[in-house]
Amino acid sequence: MQASGGSASGPFMSVDSATVRKIASLARIATSDAEVEAMVPELNNIIGWIEQLGEVDTSAVQPMTAVIPNILRLRDDVVNADPLTGGNIRDRVLANAPAPEHGFFGVPKVIE
Amino acid sequence: MTDLTNLTVAGIRDGFRAGDFSAREVADAFNANVAAAKVLNAFIVETPDHAVAAADAADRDRSEGNVKPLSGVPIGMKDLFCTQGVQTTAGSHILEGFTPQYESTVSAKLWAAGAGMLGKLNMDQFAMGSSNETSFFGNVISPWRRSDGGNAALAPGGSSGGSASAIAARLCPAATGTDTGGSIRQPAAFVGISGIKPTYGRCSRWGVVAFASSLDQAGPMAHDVRDCAIMLEAMAGFDPKDSTSLELAVPNWEVALSGDLRGKRIGIPKEYRVDNMPAEIDALWEKGIAWMKDAGAEIVEVSLPHTKYALPAYYIIAPAEASSNLARYDGVRYGLRDLPDGAGLQDMYAATRAAGFGPEVKRRILIGTYVLSAGFYDAYYTQAQKVRTLISQDFDRAWEKCDLLLTPTAPSAAFALGEKSDDPLAMYLNDVFTVPSSLAGLPAMSVPAGLDGQGLPLGLQIIGKALDEQGVLNAGLAIEERAGFTARAEKWW
C-alpha cells in the first residue's frame, strides 16, 4: 500500500487489520483481535468519508496555524513567575498518582 | 413564594439584590431539584455544600453592602473544568477519582464573582459526542418528551448534555459548557435554551481538560440571551496561563444588549440549505429571516463555498489534536492505572488506555493517530488545515456583504437515545451547521426559536465576526423577543 504524501488527491487508502494494529500500537491502546476486526469497517467508513477533502484545490493556501491572529507571548524569565504554575508543590503534584513512592511517580520497570 | 427555580440568572441576581429572598433560599431550592432528578443523570457529582457555602457568603456580603456580579446565583459546572478538591472526570473512567489540586481559570472566575456550584455536570466522554451517550457515567436524559405519548428517552444533545438537561429541567439556572464543534449550541437547541460559543481565545482554556486545543472554547448555557451575556462576562478575560488567550478587555455585553438591528445586514448562507433538510427547520429559518427584518435588519444571500468540507476537515483536525492531547493518560501520574501481572511500562500504557477510554474516544484517537502518521500526514492533516484556511476565508469574504449570519443550529430536533449510536458518521452529521464557525474561531450562539411537530425545541444559530459577541448576542435577543418561546419540558421525573 503506497502513501502519496503531498498530493492533494491521492487514491482511497483503505485500512486493513494490519494497519489498525499498527495504529493501535502507536496510540498505545491494547486492542484484541475481535476489536481490531470490528474497527476495520468503522475506520474505513470514516476515512472513506473524509477522503472527499482531496477534491479541494489547496495549492494557493497555507495550513491554518492560528485560529485568531495573536502573538505568542513569553512570560517573565523568572522562577515561579505565577504561583498557580510555580514549583515547590510536590505533594500536590503527586496527590493523584497511582503509585507515589518517596516523592517519585512509581512505575513498573521498563523491560528491554 | 415564587418558585425560585423558575427564575433566570438575572432574576435571581436582581431579586437577591433587592432583598426579595436570601441566597440560601435559592441554593436550597436548586439543591432540592438536583436531588430529586437523579433519573436524568445530569450530574456526575452533586455538591450541595459548595452551593450552600457560596449562598451563605453571598448573604453575608449583601448584609455588608458588598454584592458581587453573581452573588446568590448557583450554577452547574461541566465536568470538563478542573475544580479543586472536587472530582473531575471529563465523563471518562480513565479520570474517575481524579481530584484536581487546582481550579480552572473559568470556574475560579465564576466563584470569585459570587456564584455557587450545584455539582459537576455529566457530558460526552472527553467532549466527544453529540448526544451525551458516550459518558462512562451513563447517558444523560433530556427532560423533553415527544408529544406522541410515547416515553422514548430523548438525547439532550452533546457534549454538554448534562448542562443542557439540567437547565431545561430547572436543576440550575445556568451552567458552563464547552464547544469544540457545536457542543454548547447543539444541546442548547435540543432542549430549548440559549448557549454561546465565544470567539476563540475569549475564555481561558487553563484547567479545561483538553480535547482539541485549536477548537475548544468554554461558554455559558442559560435560559435566555441576557443570562448568557451575564455569565460570559464573568467567564471571559485574558489569562496569561493560556497562550491562546486574547489580551483584550471584556466588553460590557449585558449593558449594551439591544434587539434593534437597524443598519445590520444578516447573511443567509445558501450552502446551509442541505439535502434532506426537514421542512420544519427550513420553515423556522424563514421565520427567523422575517424576525430579523422586523428588527430592522437587511437580509443578504451569501455563499460559503467550502461549507461541505467543514465536517470532514473537522473530523481530521479534532481527532488529530485529541490523539496528541489524550496521550497524557497513560497511568503514570494520575487517573486510572491498569497493571496486568508481570506487565512492564509499555504494557501498562496499553492496558490502562484500553480499559480507561470508551469506544468513541478510542475511535477518534485511532483516526487522529492515522492521519498524523508518517506517509499520511500531508494527504490528510495538512490538507485539512489548508481547507480550514479556505473555510475561514469564506467567512472573511462573507463579512464584506453582511455583519452576521443566520442559520439553523441543528439538522433535526432531539432524537431518541440509541437511535443514532450505531453509526458514528450519522452522529457526526449533527454538527454540520456548527462546525464551520468552530474551525474559523468565530463567536456563535443558538437561541430557541420554535417547536417541531412533536413538540420538541428547535434552535436558530447566529454567527458573527471575530470579537463581535455583542452583535451575536443582539441578534439572538432580536429572535428571542419575537419567537415568544415559552415552552417548557413537562415534569415526568
Query: Quick one: which of B39, B203, B193 has its CA closest to B122?
Result: B39
- Which pLDDT score, from 0 to 100, does residue A71 have? 84
pLDDT at B317 over 70: yes
Q: Residues B50-97: pLDDT tens digits?
A: 999 999 999 999 999 999 999 999 999 999 999 999 999 999 999 999
What end-to-end distance do the CA atoms of chain A give, in Å?
31
Q: How far lies B84's CA from each of B88, B98, B120, B131, in Å?
A: 9, 10, 12, 28
ipTM summary value: 0.93
B392 is catalytic: no
Q: Which residues of A touch B370 (CB under 8 A)?
A: 15, 19, 23, 43, 47
Contact criterion met (CB < 8 Å) for A52 and B309: yes
Closest approach of chain A CAs to the CA of B42, in angstroms? Answer: 25
Of the listed B159, B165, B245, B412, which one is catalytic?
Answer: B159
Contact B271, B304 (CB under 8 A): yes
How large is the angle between the packed helices A17-26 and B359-372, nearest 10 degrees?
Answer: 90
CB of B328 within 8 Å of a chain A CB? The answer is no
At position B465, the amino acid (one-letter code) is K
DSSP track, B268-321:
EEGGGS-TT--HHHHHHHHHHHHHHHHTTPEEEEE--TTGGGHHHHHHHHHHHH
pTM attached to this predicted model: 0.96
In this structure, what C-alpha cell is assigned to residue B160? 454538554
In this structure, what C-alpha cell is assigned to residue B35? 436531588
At position B147, the amino acid (one-letter code) is S
Query: Quick one: which of B284, B230, B227 has its CA closest to B433?
Result: B284
Query: Quick one: which of B202, B204, B251, B212 has its CA closest to B229?
Result: B251
Contact criterion met (CB < 8 Å) for A53 and B333: no
Size of interface A-B (CB pairs under 8 A): 190
Q: Which residues of B touch A39 (CB under 8 A)?
A: 363, 366
Closest approach of chain A CAs to the CA of B193, in angstroms? Answer: 28
Q: Residues A54-101: pLDDT tens digits?
A: 999 999 999 998 888 888 888 889 998 888 888 899 999 999 999 999
How large is the angle between the packed helices B105-112 and B225-235, nearest 10 degrees?
Answer: 110
Contact B208, B178 (CB under 8 A): yes
B183 is catalytic: yes
- Which pLDDT score, from 0 to 100, does residue A12 have? 57
CB of B324 within 8 Å of a chain A CB? The answer is no
Contact criterion met (CB < 8 Å) for B387 and A47: no
Helices (H), chain A: 17-26, 33-50, 90-94
B362 is catalytic: no
Pick B366's closest partner by Cβ from A24, A64, A68: A24
Chain A residue at shortest CA distance from B102: A84
Q: Which residues of A touch B102 (CB under 8 A)?
A: 84, 92
Grid cell 417547536 is found at: B451
Contact B370, A48 (CB under 8 A): no
